[in-house]
Structure 1
C-alpha cells in the first residue's frame, strides 16, 4: 500500500504529461463517453415505439392521410391537399430502425457527458483564465444544442408540407420511415451544431482572441456565410429549412456580438484599474520602476551611548573588521 502510494506520480500543475499518458487519458475519456451513450441507447430500446411515435406525430398531424384511408383511396383524395403514409420496407427494416432511433437518442441525451469529457481532456492545456470560463460554456452548450435540435423537430412538419405540395396530381406519397429518420437525424445534428456558433464566438472573445468590434465588422460576411451554410447544410433542401436555420443563427450571432462588446468594456475598465488584469500564467506582471524617496535615517546621539560603548566599535567589532 505504501509502495504504491510512493510510486504514484503527482500531476504536473501545468498539465504536462508524456505522449503515452495523453493517449491513455484520451482512451479513458472516450470509454466513459461511449459507455454513457451505450447505457442510454439500451434504455431507449425499451421505449423505441414511443420515441418513434413522438418523432412521427408532428409530420402526421401536418401531412398525414385521414384515418381509415387506404392506398386505393389516395388517388381519389383531394389533389389540393396532399397527404402521405409512412412505410417500412423489408424484413430487417424494423430492427435496423429500432437500432438507429435508439442510438440517436443515446447520442443526443448523452450530450452533457461527452461534452464534459471533451472539456476534461482539453482543460489541462488551458490557462487558468481560460479554465474559468470553460466549464460554464460546456454547461451552456448543452441547452443550445438541445434547442437547435428541438427547433429542427418543430419546423420539419412545415418543410414536409411545402415539399409534398410539389407532388403531381394522382400520385401517392409513401414516405419510407428509415429515410425520414435519417433526414430528421441530419437536421438535428446540423441545427444543433449551428446553434453552437455564438457560443464559440463568445468563447474566443472571453479568452482575448477576438474582440467584439471586429466581430461587429464582420456582420455582412457572417450573414452571407450563415445563409450559404443554411442552404448547403440543410438536408431537406427547401427554402423554409434554409431560412429557418439562417434566421435564428443570425439573431444568436448579433446576441454574441452584444455580449462581446459588453465584455470588452468591462475588461477595459478592469485593465485601467489594474494593469496586470488578464495576464496568463506564463506572463510576467508589470514592474513599477519609478524611484521612491528614501526617508532620513535616525542618528543616534552621543548621550544615548552607554558608558561601556565605544563609538568606534559596533556590535563588538571595529570599523576595519
Structure 2
C-alpha cells in the first residue's frame, strides 16, 4: 500500500477538524510546493538526474533547507532504486513518506509539552518582537483554560512599549490573571511575583512572556539567564518548557533566530506562527532536522483555536491533500 493511500485512509474520512485546519492552513505552501511537484512528475517520463535536480530546486524554494534537501534527495534516490520505481508519479508518495520520516526520526526530544500533572508547570516563551509571541501565549492560555486548568500569565517583557498592556488584553479576553510590574522593571522580579501568585492560587500553568530584543545579544542572554535562575530557585526543575516563537513567513531568517536563542537559553520546542501566511512551509522540516528542536505548535490561522499541536502526518496530508484524495481514483 502506498503512503498516500495510508494517509487517505487515516484522514480523508476523518471528522477531526484539526486535519481540516492543517489542510486549509497549508494552502499557500501546497500551491507552491505540492503543485510544483505534481507539474514536475507530469513532465517527466522517467526518473533521471534532471528530475532529481528540479525536485531539489523545488524543495529549496519551499525553505526545506539545503542540508535537509540534500539528505532527502539522497534517501529518495536510494528508495527509488530499492523499490525499482520507474514512474515519476509514484515518487510523490515516497516524498511524503520521507518527509514524515525526517521529522519523526529525530527522537532526541518529545513533540508534546512537558506538563507536570498535579504540580505547577512553568513555560517560558522567548523570541524576537513581532513574531506573535504574546498572541501565542494568549492562545495557549485559552487552550489550557478550556481544558479546566488554572492558568496565570507573567508579563516579563518590560522592555517593549505596550507589551504589558497587550498581554493584559489577552488576559481579559481569555479570563486569565496577568501578573505585572511597571514598564522598565526587572523581568526576574516579575517572574518571582508571578511564581508566588501561582503558588498561592494553586495554579496549574504559569505562562511567562520575555523581552524579544536581539540587538544586544549579551544583554538578552544575561536577562534570560537571570529569569531562568529565579524560576529554578523557586521551583526546582523549572522552567519545564522554553518555547521559541518563530514567524514562518520569515523563512530562513527564522533559522538564524533559532540558532541565536539556542545559544542564549536551552530551547525545548518551537512554536511556528503564521504558517498559513507563507508559501514556504518547508521551514518546519529544516528546523527539526538541522537544529534538532521539535516544532510543538503551529499557527494555522487567526482564530483562537488555530494554534495547534504539530503533527507530522497531518502536516504532510495538508501539503499533498489534493493528490492524496485523488490517489484512489487513479488506482481503481
TM-score scaled by length of structure 1: 0.21
Larger Rg: 1
Which structure shows the bigger proportion of residues in helix conformation? 1
Which structure shows the bigger proportion of residues in strand conformation? 2
TM-score scaled by length of structure 2: 0.21
Asked which structure has the greater RCO (Cα within 8 Å, sep 6+), the reply is 2
